[in-house]
Amino acid sequence: MQEITLGNRKVGPNAPPFIAAEMSGNHNQSLERALEIVEAAAKAGAHALKIQTYTADTMTIDVKEREFFISDPKSLWKGNSLYDLYKEAYTPWEWHKPIFDRCRELGVIGFSTPFDATAVDFLESLDVPFYKVASFENTDVQLIRKIAKTGKPIVISTGMSTIAEMDETVREARKAGCKDLILLKCTSSYPSTPENSNILTIPHMASLWGCQVGLSDHTMGTGVSVASVALGATFIEKHFTLRRADGGVDSAFSMEPQEMSALVVESERAWQALGKISYRRAARPQRNRSPCRPSSRAKARRTRRGRRAGLD
């Protein structure tokens, strides 16, 4: 599998999983809070921080009925129009530079998800190192081509597409110049559950498209993400906030700092544990043997001593 460089970090089977913290709308329309989220992500050990680049007007129209209104009783955002939701969640474009500057100061890779061509042009002016394509945009062939022509790596979530649609997306990205591609297995429900995560799809995707595959994880906790590493995931993305209790459009399914720190540690341990196929005995097993499980040789010695003492 081809190794890819994202920012200053190598990503691939021979490197620890790349962990990206997704700020999304958890800044709650406060630049000060957004910068605190960057600092918390860096302290937790995340390798990158992602924001989203759009405005309500570039995403939808200001209509509060029909398909423009969220009426699904199971949705976290029930009772909102799409326009109002995007207006609350979007990251003001004038915040992008200070957010990315803080990322660089702290050694975190800042990147973004553009939702239209104007967003790509804007992000190019800020020299982002790579791009993320959201699940809901992965069939936007014009957007895919626009991003691919920058020559930068692309990470694409697959949550809303069929296998045929993803095949077209991959072919179009490569045809337009994308050489470094990572696909993310994603379940587009918020939050999602372990039962509908289906991470066995990860190695199948890698086989189909001959590229690295990771996970965009909307479940609670770290279990699904850590398990994905055993199936070959090289890139893990999780929504991130300071405190879920603070509220915000994505806070209910976002990680807090201590959870992100645990994910960084445990995903690397899972990667280290993969090792290689080996049936060799440990070099010095006696140093690590449980005192409650003596070796067969030790048992034999005790038995011989017992017989000499007449205890059998």
pTM: 0.86
Q: Report how far residue 163's alpha carbon sits from residue 290's, in angstroms, rounded to the nearest whole number.
A: 49
186 in a structural domain? yes
Q: What is the DSSP string of 188-209?
A: -SSS--GGGT-TTHHHHHHHHH
240 in a structural domain? yes
Q: What is the DSSP string of 279-293?
A: -PPPSSGGGT--TTS
pLDDT at 22: 96
166 in a structural domain? yes
pLDDT at 296: 53
Locate 43 and state its tokens: 């302290």
Locate 247 and state its tokens: 């509220």
Domain with 258 in it: what CATH number?
3.20.20.70
Domain count, the chain: 1
Q: Report how far residue 243's alpha carbon sits from residue 149's, in angstroms, rounded to the nearest whole number.
A: 38
67 in a structural domain? no
Q: Report how far residue 137's alpha carbon sits from residue 160's, in angstroms, rounded to the nearest whole number.
A: 9
β-pair partners for 19: 236
Domain extent, residue 172, equals 4-54+90-308
Task: Using alpha carbons, select from 124, 171, 185 the residue that is nearest to residue 151.
Answer: 124
Locate 136 and state its tokens: 């809901």
Q: Report how far residue 30's alpha carbon sits from residue 55's, in angstroms, rounded to the nearest whole number.
A: 16
Contact in structure between 28 and 36 (CB atoms under 8 Å): no
Residue 29 DSSP one-character state: T
pLDDT at 245: 94
187 in a structural domain? yes
pLDDT at 74: 66
74 in a structural domain? no
261 in a structural domain? yes
pLDDT at 286: 56
Task: Using alpha carbons, select from 307, 282, 283, 286 the residue that is nearest to residue 296.
Answer: 286
Q: Quick check: bond before 114 cis, omega within 30?
A: no
Mean per-residue pLDDT pooled into runs of 10, the chain (312 residues)? 92 97 94 98 98 88 70 66 80 97 98 97 97 94 97 94 95 97 90 91 97 96 97 97 91 94 98 92 61 53 50 44
222 in a structural domain? yes
